[in-house]
Structure 1
Amino acid sequence: PDNHPGNCWPFPGSQGHVLIKLPVAIFPKAVTINHGIEAAAYHADSTSSAPKDFAVYGLQEEDDEKGTLLGEFIFIPGQAPGQTFQLENEQSGFIKYVRLQVLSNWGHREYTCVYQFRLHGDPAR
């Protein structure tokens, strides 16, 4: 994927979410979120648009209102562009959908940028 500065999924404000349908049902184990910019290239504007607090939910159906909370995490800009987090609730069973819920960013008032989001796990059998 193209993780150059500016080639991101931008959404207005500091909060947003996306629901992703998985190609196969999986037993989730970890997530990776990527802000896409190497630490040496960080400046105030790119840091402030990075997600800060985020939650991940697993769902078995698209119309599942709530889903199962798999974990809440904090992305720290400047550590690594891609950061992997072990899920807090691995006992959720298999899921067909995942919802990334960005709860805050690092201070940018206009938008938040997510460059990549990955879910790691084992396929359901």
Structure 2
Amino acid sequence: MITALWMSHSVPSTALIIKMMPQTNLISLLGLEQSSVGEECCSRMKYLVGELLRAEQALKSTLRLRRTLMLTSKANKMDIDIDRGHVHGIIVSKGKYTKEWGGKLVLWGVVPLWRAAPPPDTILALRRPTPSDCWPFSGSYGELNLDLPRQLRIRCLSVEHVQPDTALSAPKNFILYGILTNGTWLKAVDGEYRRRGPAKQYYPLLHQNIPFQQFVFRVLNNQGNPRYTCIYRVHLFQNIDSSQYLYK
């Protein structure tokens, strides 16, 4: 139709073309290019947003890994020097008003059948802690008695957890008491286990020149678990020379 009009040298008006062509076909022809461009732009934007999200996630993972490696490296450097005075032969027992999580099952109340939780001296192990390799107690408040093999001047205490940044069962605020031979209790450490810190954290004693043979490690609360608290490792380190140490 349009070819015939062109050959007759007659240029029709737009209104005439609209009247002569079906309205549905006209709408389809006019809107084809615009909708295609819109869909292509939309798809491209979605792709770019996805790529940005993936790049952001990769950057966060890299920064998290770098921070963990830095903390671990710093902790390992401290371990080489500080852990030389590790105290061996400590006897650990459950403290007063402390209920072991899980406890044990016995036959007729006498014969042990199965122990649901590791013994308290698990906290003294020198192996690297793994999940569930700990001593748990009910609630968020509890304590352990630490009996040394003889009177020693203790320089610092270390507390270690397997996953400090994610575990709500890790201890938070705690106090270490040193007990003198006359029964006097002295606060030796008033510490906080930091979730954003390294797995193994060190705390200097307030009375490093006083010999102690008994300590009480008292957990005041944990990181948020209302049912139980897990203590993975607690170690004591004695004075072995006159070197000066810095704890941060």
Question: Which category of TM-score, normalised to the shorter sequence, fits these structures?
Answer: 0.7 to 0.9
1:59 aligns with 2:179: yes
Higher relative contact order (CA 8 A, sep 6+): 1
Q: How many equivalent pairs are there?
A: 114
Show structure 1 runs of 4+ deviating over 4 A: none
Q: Unaligned stretches of 5+ in structure 2?
A: 1-126, 241-248
Q: Contact (CA 8 Å) 1:28, 1:94: kept in 2 or not?
A: yes
- Percentage of pairs with the same residue: 25
1:115 aligns with 2:235: no
> How far does the alpha carbon of each residue in 1:11-36 deviate from its partner, in whole angstroms, 9 at most, with x for none?
10001000111122111111001112
Distance in 2 between the 1:10 and 1:77 partners? Answer: 18
Per the TM alignment, residue 60 of structure 1 is displaced from its structure 2 partner at its CA by 3.1
1:89 aligns with 2:212: no
> How far does the alpha carbon of each residue in 1:38-71 deviate from its partner, in whole angstroms, 9 at most, with x for none?
x6xx53xx2x10100000011134x93x511102
TM-score scaled by length of structure 1: 0.81
1:21 aligns with 2:147: yes
Q: Which has the larger strand fraction?
A: 1
Partner of residue 217, structure 2: 100
TM-score scaled by length of structure 2: 0.43
**Root-mean-square deviation over aligned CA pairs:** 1.9
Deviates more, 1:67-76 or 1:78-87: 78-87
Aligned counterpart for 2:191 among listed residues 67, 73, 81: 73
Tell me which structure has the larger Cα radius of gyration. Answer: 2
